[in-house]
A and B are shown apart, each in its own frame.
Chain A
Amino acid sequence: DQQVKQNSPSLSVQEGRISILNCDYTNSMFDYFLWYKKYPAEGPTFLISISSIKDKNEDGRFTVFLNKSAKHLSLHIVPSQPGDSAVYFCAASLNNNNDMRFGAGTRLTVKP
């Protein structure tokens, strides 16, 4: 049962433009959401997170939006840079207990 879904396996964006990565979840009990970035042959690295009590969290070029009623979150990267090219995983957890469920990932390619 895939509780966290990233329906776009890939996304291509021009440098300087906005990248929007989407994630949907089915379990309304999830209360903490995270985005991870992964380069080939490396483990995921934490990017940004958001608690379910918020609807937006911003950190530099990265902003995560949470729409609880739609069970949807998105990651905005602006402006996109070629170094942002990687696979981005969305994850959700219950009671912030580290038991995370991951989406399948979206491969972002930022073209110079």
Chain B
Amino acid sequence: GAVVSQHPSWVICKSGTSVKIECRSLDFQATTMFWYRQFPKQSLMLMATSNEGSKATYEQGVEKDKFLINHASLTLSTLTVTSAHPEDSSFYICSATRDRGASQHFGDGTRLSIL
């Protein structure tokens, strides 16, 4: 069964709204969670790495004020796309790992469509 739950799986909203995506590890404590973005027919691009209780580390080119990441507990990380615009439409996937060096477990992703 799934060990990482991502919610919602599909979001359609108007331009200018903010969207929150949740990523939960179901049966383990995730010290580290990762957020990826995938454009059609392209690879998964790492956006940021979040460790419980500390600020997320963003990859170059990713706006931290645009993509707010909170990792408040060992089982939950959230990604908030603030003031979303059509160019933010994409497939967002989270993953979680027990500790550095352990395998990542992926959520099923969130399809975000901004009208």
User: Which residues of A are in contact with B by a Cβ distance under 8 Å?
Assistant: 2, 4, 6, 9, 36, 41-46, 49, 89, 96-105
Contacts and interface: CB of A to CB of B under 8 A. Distances in A.
A48 to B, nearest CB: 11
The B interface, classified by DSSP as helix, strand, loop or mixed, is strand
A46 B4 CA distance: 13
Interface in B51-95: 93, 95
B9 interface: yes
Contacts of B32: 98
Contacts, number: 57
A72 to B, nearest CB: 17
B39 to A, nearest CB: 10
A43 B42 contact: no
A6 B41 CA distance: 11
A80 to B, nearest CB: 23
A104 B42 contact: yes
Contacts of A44: 44, 93, 106
